[in-house]
Every structure is written in structure tokens, then in C-alpha cells.
Amino acid sequence: MSDRSAARIEPWGEGDLPLLEKLMGDPQMTEHLGGPESKEKIAERQARYERLASSGRGRMFKIVDAATGEAAGSVGYWERAWRGQQVYEIGWSVIPQFQGRGMAGTATAQAIAMASSERKHRYLHAFPSVDNPPSNAICRKLGFTLLGECGFEYPPGSFMQCNDWRLDLLAVT
């Protein structure tokens, strides 16, 4: 791809609600995430993102185009219980005008380095829909191991078939 651009990550902040509206309020962006959220749900999500770092249970970041400083997306990780263990789950999202430039992959690698440096949880999981080739490609490229498929009801009433990808954070250098 010729138009690849560098990305950096910054802690999610109070001023990032308009970005979140572009990421979570749009039908195309949320096709694999259960559909667009209402303004109210997005405001609740914004508050959760702002609180996450101080809760000590994960971190959320804004993805920024390093060349222009424009906001391009989100990446973050949070604790969850999975098959009887506490693990980190990671998720990412890039708005259409910045897609296809390697930004999600670059930003996710930076978030993985942060999660690994904490030495808090050994395993980081990602659960992209089986129908989401770019997200599955990112997992493969960043060294995750595919454990198999699993079904989720998210949000309630909406069923997704996902891949369970796992990365060993102790093996990240």
C-alpha cells in the first residue's frame, strides 16, 4: 500500500467525545460491533474510557495520525474474566478516511507494549468477528495465536461469531 502513515497513541481524554461519536455512532463502523450506539450509550462509554486508566483495570487510547495530529481512531485494553481466568481483552477502531494505511496495526502494537510492560496479566485476547478480515489480519500480523471460534451475544439480542486470538504478554519483547 503506498499511502501508509505513522500513528501514535495518546491517553483517551475529555475532548474525545466527537471521535467516539464517529467510531460508535456510525452503522458502517459498528457493523461487526452490534450496530451503532445511541448518544446516551456513547456518553456512558466516554465516561468509562475516561475512568479506565485510574481504575487500574485497563487503558484506552486515541489513535493519532503522527503527520497531522488528526484523531484517527481508538485502541485499548481492559480486564475480563475468560474461561476461568482474569485476562486483558483488546479492541481497536479506525475511522474510514484513515483505514488501509496500517494505522490500526501500528497503534495496536504500541498498546500491546504498554499492556506487556505492566506485567499484570499474562494473556491478552482479541475477539474479532469471523467476518472481519482486516481485524483478523492484524491479530495474525502481531503474533496472536488463533485458539478457535466462539459465540457472543453482544449487545443483548445480537449474536456474533468471533475468533478467539491470544497473545502471551510475557513473550512480548
Ligand X SMILES: CC(C)(COP(=O)(O)OP(=O)(O)OC[C@H]1O[C@@H](n2cnc3c(N)ncnc32)[C@H](O)[C@@H]1OP(=O)(O)O)[C@@H](O)C(=O)NCCC(=O)NCCS
Please select the residue that binds ligand X; options are 35, 56, 133, 155, rule is CB under 6 A.
133
CB 38 within 8 A of CB 70: no
The least distance separating ligand X from the CB of residue 42, rounded to whole angstroms, comes to 15
Based on the shown chain and the rule CB under 6 A, indicate whether residue 24 belongs to the binding site for ligand X.
no
Its sign, for the CA torsion 160, 49, 125, 1, is positive
DSSP state of 124: E
Nearer to ligand X, 52 or 170 (CB): 52
Q: Which stretch binds ligand X (CB under 6 A): 46-54, 109-117, 136-144, 152-160?
A: 136-144
Q: How many residues bind ligand X (CB under 6 A)?
A: 22
Q: Smallest distance from the beta carbon of 133 to ligand X, in angstroms?
A: 3
135 is a contact residue toward ligand X (CB under 6 A): yes
Stretch of residues binding ligand X (CB under 6 A), selected from 45-53, 86-94, 112-120, 150-158: 86-94
Residue from 116, 109, 125, 131 nearest 32 by CA: 131
Question: Can you give the three-state secondary structure of 76-117, one letter per residue?
Answer: EEEEEEECCEEEEEEEEEECHHHCCCCHHHHHHHHHHHHHHH
Does 9 help bind ligand X (rule: CB under 6 A)? no
Work out how close the CB of 141 gets to ligand X at its nearest, in angstroms, rounded to a whole number.
5
Which of residues 46 and 135 has its CB atom nearest to ligand X in the complex? 135
End-to-end, the C-alpha distance of the chain in Å comes to 27
The dihedral region occupied by 35, where left means phi > 0, alpha psi between -120 and 50, and beta the remainder, is left
Binding residues for ligand X (CB under 6 A): 29, 32-33, 91-94, 99-105, 128, 132-135, 137-138, 141
